[in-house]
Amino acid sequence: MSEVKTKRKTARHNVRYDEIAEQKEVVIDHKTDTLVYAMGGLGEVGKNMYCVEHDDEIIIIDCGVIFPDSDLLGVDYVIPDFTYLQQNQSKIKALVITHGHEDHIGGLPFFLKQVRIKEIWAGPFAKALIEKKLDEHHLLRSVKIREINSEESRIRTKYFSIGFVDTVHSIPDSYGIFINTPNGRIFETGDFKFDLTPIGKNSDYQKMAYIGQIGVTLLMSDSTNSSVPGWSISEGKVAQAINEQMAKTPGRMIVSTFASNTYRLAQILEAAVACNRKVAVFGRSMENVLDIGRRLGYINIPDSSFITGNELNTLPANRICIVCTGSQGEPMAALSRIANGTHRFIKILPGDTVLFSSNPIPGNAVSVGGVINQLTRVGANVITNSPLTSFHTTGHAPQEEQKLMLNLIKPKYFMPNHGEYKMLVQHSQTAMTTGIPKENCFVCANGDVLVLRNEEVFEAKERIQTDAIYVDGNDASGLSTSVIKDRRILAENGLVAVIVTIDSRYNKILCRPNIVSRGFVYIKESQTLLKEAELIVYDALKKKMQQRTTFGELKNCIRSSLEPYLYKKTNRNPIVIPIILNQKAAMEEIQAKMKARQASTRRK
């Protein structure tokens, strides 16, 4: 395993040096150096978790999840490996949340089950989402959650001074994090975009410019849209497009968007009320966001504008707006159930219009296309976002907005984050066009350590062990990770069971082993292979049983003799399961000896 990891790291660095200048590697001085590293969020979109460490203090930024790909069957979440932070939990002084999206807060319940910390800092909206999440996991009393106010909030520790800067994203209370350290200043943007006509609070351009004026050693910046040229569309333009579509739609309006896009949800609801439509909201996650948004004042829609599922049939079609989850084609989301005719309250009627106020996330295009086709098949008029319609805009900065951030902050060194490898490289190339030298751009992977030393940045020779942990249900122990590996081996290489009958009294094999295969080779065409394999196992066991041995040693003997042979013949590594059957009389003798030993122990 270590050899594989070493090869991967070497390959990764070789690729990186084609794009980014080679940087000097240094040995860490753990007393005087400031360390920056990611537990997740580099080489992937999601699982964000970034750490800044100096001597005996660690500050953590975000704690997110990734939702699994379709090939990870049975997995609910993918989270960072918290082992390093668990071993150093006494150093953790604060966990700071940039905003309330799942890829930034979704890992908190699993983190808090393994690591004890004193406090979490989060904005009002993220705080409400976190409290609801921790309450569901019975963890609400395990940690204090302190609310961030960007104007007044400061976190001060022995080595760090932390401040907050308002940014614009698709959810309220989104912040950039400014950290003063003994070796320089760090600015982490969080997820951001620049919108000159935002729906909520605007970015604090003045504070960003001031931070750039006093000097930033290292900028860590969102890379999600680093391959997208130009500027993003304003949320104000999206609101106008939704209003126009709502007004001209003659029948029922069904709108699907991201549940976490609070401002978009507010726009849709306001457009419905302006068009004299009553609103029904479906989808647990969207209902939660709606409840918190109304409670905190980000969504101002009166109770009289909402109806329940039972009331849908009591109003004319042109008086109804249905808002639901499922814009990404999730099989169990409300929109998928509507399309398949399995929703409890909603059946598609002739004249219904379904509006997707979203774009498919990369990888979801097939599932979204399937839902669109099914909706069309049952008679709905489906409208999707396009450059001509403007029903959706991103929450992440494209290239020109990334350049604006780079010019405002004016960093000496740059580390792109929150993105797949190609996104990180493209963001570094964008940074170079703004004047940052190639050798000052660091494209890192999870676990790579950057060293801040006297306002200079170097790459460390050491790495921190990080892995993706697969969560099955609420299990965050890592056991599910090994289960997933076994599933993959079974899917790709199959299974071979070796059944051996022995008599442990005389250390003898009673008959030749029997091999049963599933998903490995076609048995009728591979009889010769399996017979030879049986003979190889038989010979190995006979040699092993010439001396005293154990059941565990016999199983290892079967695996070590059979696996190389099968790989040599087929170039495949199936899971080999040894099954050892002991002769009945031998088993009875073993049980009798065990009972006698227990009785002797009790007498003593």
Residue pair 263/270 in contact by the 8 Å Cβ criterion: no
Q: Determine whether 54 is an active site residue.
A: no
Place of tokens 């126009």: 244
Tell me the C-alpha distance between 99 and 510, whole Å. 66
Cα Rg of the chain, angstroms = 30
Tell me phi and psi for residue 306, to 5 degrees. Answer: -100, 145
Residue pair 257/357 in contact by the 8 Å Cβ criterion: yes
DSSP, collapsed to helix, strand or coil, labels residue 520 as: coil
Place of tokens 């031998």: 586
Which DSSP symbol is given to 357?
-
Q: Determine whether 30 is an active site residue.
A: no
Written as six digits, the tokens of 83 are 């082992």
Tell me the C-alpha distance between 294 and 262, whole Å. 10
Tell me the C-alpha distance between 241 and 46, whole Å. 30
Written as six digits, the tokens of 241 are 């497009």
Handedness of CA 82, 86, 88, 94 (dihedral sign): positive
Q: Which long-range contacts (CB under 8 A, 24 or more apart) does 110-115 make?
A: 110/77, 110/79, 110/82, 110/469, 110/471, 110/474, 110/476, 111/63, 111/79, 111/82, 111/85, 112/139, 112/142, 112/143, 113/137, 113/139, 113/476, 114/82, 114/86, 114/476, 115/82, 115/85, 115/86, 115/89
Q: Which of 391, 50, 348 is nearest to 187 (CA)?
A: 50
String of b and e for 528-564 (b: at least 16 CB within 10 Å)? ebbeebbebbeebbeebbeeeeeeeebbebbbebbee
Residue pair 129/123 in contact by the 8 Å Cβ criterion: no
Amino acid letter for position 399: Q
Of these residues, 62, 222, 352, 448, which one is catalytic?
222
Of these residues, 104, 169, 343, 396, which one is catalytic?
396
Tell me the C-alpha distance between 177 and 221, whole Å. 11
Q: Which residues are catalytic?
A: 222, 396
